[in-house]
Amino acid sequence: MDNSDNHCDYQLPTSFKSSRQFQTRKKPDKFIKKIDITVKKLFHKQIEITNNNYELPNPNDMFSENTWSIDDLQKTKIKLNEIKNTLSDYNPAEWRNHTRKMNIAEHIRWRLKEDINPELFTQAWCKFYEIASTFPLIPEEVNHTKQLKTIHLCEAPGAFVTSLNHWLKTNVPYIKWNWRATTLNPYYEGNSLCSMINDDRFILHTLDCWYFGTDNTGDIMNIKNLDMLIDLEKDNSDKIMLITADGSVDCMDMPGEQETIVSHLHFCEVITALHLLSTNGTLLLKIFTFFECQTISLMYFLTCSFKKIIIKKPATSKPGNSEIYLICLSFRGREEIKSYLNILKKYYETGITLAMIRKNDIPHSFIEQIIECANYFKSFQCEEILNNMKLFETTDNNDFYLKRLKSAVTNYYIENFKLRKLPHDMEIVGAKILNQSYSTLYNKLTHDSYNERQKKINMTALERFSILQQKVEVSIVHNNYSFQVSIRTLLY
């Protein structure tokens, strides 16, 4: 009998080193298989919407019916919000730190920062690069024309742009690319600090490529700014073959109604894209849930306007939130939807109070697909939240397994998406320059839980001071006219 066969089964040591060498291979194999399954599951959270010869309704029938709802979707919304509501008492900073530690894709950013050092490197950079490396965001005809024009809506701080530059330069360096981006103008005094991204390092160096509209606010929801952008691009001979829209609105005080709060912005992003995108172009749109009629209507309109729609939760997107991306491939062209564009623009600035599309004008098979998708992504989110809550209350974490899993996820990302370091002369501004710069904008962070914030809404000034006194040892002298405050503890 060959002695090597025995060694294969039991990993007998050839020298006296660690006792780990006496472990059988059976357990490590199960361990590796479990990691492999988890990694593949993480990178394949996606569903394609099947277009069963769907057609848009008569334009005159749009915006003619009150808002409607789908019972199954409302039940899913209630279940999701019940899970999310259990987080209401958690301190946001502590919860963020915990979920960051538990996020198995966390090490991707650390490794890329060390090995690749991308330009303006953020989580958004990772998400875009993952999507661009998984789906054909750049239409095939660009390979023939060797010309690419892209528009990036709600783009601050600019990580989609730098990520796209990295992808293009390392995959199709022969393509001549130019871009334009919009965002709320960080230098316009009328814009609320709380509504803007607090990082202007990249914007400062690329101001010529940013469009802030006729009023200089950068507000994409102003129809005059839309019209001006359309006019600007009419004079440009380059075809716009990719539009990204990564906008959102702060929903911290109404997390259960995130979809409704953001729906008007998403409507404006889509209408802008439909006015600008060239035939066969691609739209990448961030949305959240799709429980309400306005989102369902918008998704149906997109399904009829593009040849393929894929809904994707990137592995590098925070797993406990509702963020997902619509990847809309092969735009059928403005001529196909010409009769709808003017109608859609009527509601661009005012918002929608009626249903965009009547309930009976949306095929039942499409609604069934939406229900399936909603439950699919909701299950991932709820599983993540519940697991994080369980681990938040215990110190019994399998750190060894978690580290192995994070390493496997990072390796998968780097190897499958063919990450390579980009020469400095191919960067837009330069990672070194941006890394040495500091944002000039206000940094906003909240440390109160949702329930604590809700309690403060109707508090008097004196009640707020009382809470401050408990936290920072404030002594208050109260008379009929003023408060005198002396702070004995300095907080950072």
Q: Show which residues are catalytic.
A: 286
Cα dihedral sign for 119, 123, 124, 128? positive
Peptide bond before residue 139 is cis, with ω within 30 degrees of 0: no
Query: What contacts 242, CB < 8 A, 6 or more positions away?
Result: 137, 138, 139, 148, 150, 151, 164, 281, 282, 283, 284
3-state helix vs strand vs coil in the chain, percent to 5: 50, 10, 35
Cα 287 to Cα 309: distance, rounded to the nearest angstrom: 13
Cα dihedral sign for 195, 164, 136, 139? positive
Degrees, nearest 5: CA angle 335-341-344: 155
Q: What backbone phi and psi angles, to 5 degrees, belong to 475?
A: -100, 135
Identify whether the C-beta of residue 181 lies closer than 8 Å to the C-beta of residue 120: no
Cα 473 to Cα 483: distance, rounded to the nearest angstrom: 15
Place of tokens 């915006």: 63
Query: What contacts 40, CB < 8 A, 6 or more positions away?
Result: none
Identify whether the C-beta of residue 290 lies closer than 8 Å to the C-beta of residue 374: yes
> Does 5 count as an annotated binding residue?
no
Cα dihedral sign for 410, 411, 412, 413? positive
Query: Based on C-alpha coordinates, what's the Rg of the chain?
Result: 26
> Does 231 count as an annotated binding residue?
no
Three-state secondary-structure class, residue 317: coil
> Does 110 count as an annotated binding residue?
no
Identify whether the C-beta of residue 184 lies closer than 8 Å to the C-beta of residue 219: yes
Which residues define the annotated binding site?
158, 177, 246
Which residues define the annotated binding site for S-adenosyl-L-methionine?
158, 177, 246
